[in-house]
Amino acid sequence: MHFAYMQNAQIEKFLPLKPRVSLMLLTLRDSPAHGYRLMHAIEERSGGTARMDPGLVYRTLVRLGTQGLIKECPPPGDSTDRRRRYYRLTEVGRRVVDAEVERQQLLLGQLQAAPEVGRQ
């Protein structure tokens, strides 16, 4: 029980995630990816509203790695591109992104339940 509490507290301290970091981690939840792939994925997932400079993507990757949310991994079996470094989620990273999704869904539910502004 105590251990579970510690674990939850460890996850909670990362929340809420910044929108672009959420999109990065969501992409990595599907499959390992390299920096440039993540850059394009953010743009695609946000419908073109969120863009990141590749340099910022890599700096964010370094930070997420330091925080223990992602880890470098060998390229997937079908990849032949040896120039790129690939990243995957760690267990903590997976739980953080799940918790963020849950948080956002809860918030969305509450927003949908609230009366519209101006409605009598």
Partner 1 sequence: MIVRVSTALYRAALLCYPMAFRTRFGRELLSGFEDELRGRVATSTSAALGLTLLRCGGAVGQGLAARAQTEFRSRVLAGWSQELRVVARNLMRSPGHSLVSLAILSTAVGTSTLLFAIVYATLLAPSPYPDAERLVVGWGSNVSNGQLRDVVSGANYVDMSDGSTSFVALGAIKGDGAVLEEEGRPVVVPALRVTPEFFEALDVPATLGRTIDTTETFSGSEPVIVLSHQLWIERFESSPDVVGTRIRVDLEFATVIGVMGAEFGTLFPVQAYLPLYRDVIAAQDRTSYNYWMIGRLAETATIERASGELDATMDVIAETDPRLRNWSVLLEPLDTIGKVPVRAPMLALSAAVGLLALVATFNLAGLELVRGTTRTPEWAVRRALGGGRGHLVRLMVSETALLAGVGCLLSFPVATGGLRLLRHHAPATIPVPGSAAQVTSFHASFGWATLLWMALTALAIIGLSRVPALVQARGARLDTSTRTTATARMGRVRDSFVLLQLAFASALLMGAALAGSTMKNILDIDVGLAPENVLTMYAGNVSGDAATRARYFTDILGAVQQVPGVRSVGVNDYVPLQSEDDFAGLLLHDRPPPPPGSGLREEWRRVSSDYFATAGVAVLDGRGFEPADYTGGRPVAVINRAFASKHYPGADPVGETLTIWNGGIGDATIVGVVADVRRRGILVAAPPVLYAPFHLGSRGNMAVFVATEGPPEALLDSVREAIWSVDSSQPIDRVLTLTQVVDAAVGLHRFTLAVLLALAGIAVPLASLGAFGVTAFALRARRRELGIRLALGATHQRLAARVLRDAVALGVAGITGGLGLAALAGSLARSLLVGVTPYAIVPAAAVSCIVLASVIIATLIPVRGLRRVEAAESLRVE
State how far the Cα of 120 lies from the Cα of 116, in Å rounded to an integer.
9
State the pairing for strand pair 70-73/33-34: unpaired
Give least dist CB 60 to partner 1, A. Answer: 10
Place of tokens 């990849």: 79
The CA distance from 96 to 9, in Å, is: 11
Q: Is 59 in the site for partner 1 (CB under 8 A)?
A: yes
Our finding on whether 6 is near partner 1 (CB under 8 A) is: no
Q: Which of 8, 15, 16, 36 binds partner 1 (CB under 8 A)?
A: 36
Does the protein bind partner 1 through residue 74 (CB under 8 A)? no
Count other C-beta atoms under 10 Å from residue 82's C-beta.
7
Residue 59 vs 102, nearer CB to partner 1: 59
Could you tell me the smallest distance in angstroms from the CB atom of residue 39 to partner 1?
8
From the CB of residue 38, how many other CB atoms can be counted at a distance below 10 Å? 23
3-state secondary structure of 11: helix
Of 56 and 107, the one with the shorter C-beta distance to partner 1 is: 56
Check residue 23 and report its DSSP letter: H
Residue 58 binds partner 1 (CB under 8 A): yes
Structure tokens at 94: 């997976």
Q: Does 55 bind partner 1 (CB under 8 A)?
A: yes
Residue 73 contacts partner 1 per CB under 8 A: no
In the complex, which residues of this chain contact partner 1 (CB under 8 A)?
34-36, 53-56, 58-59, 62, 83-85
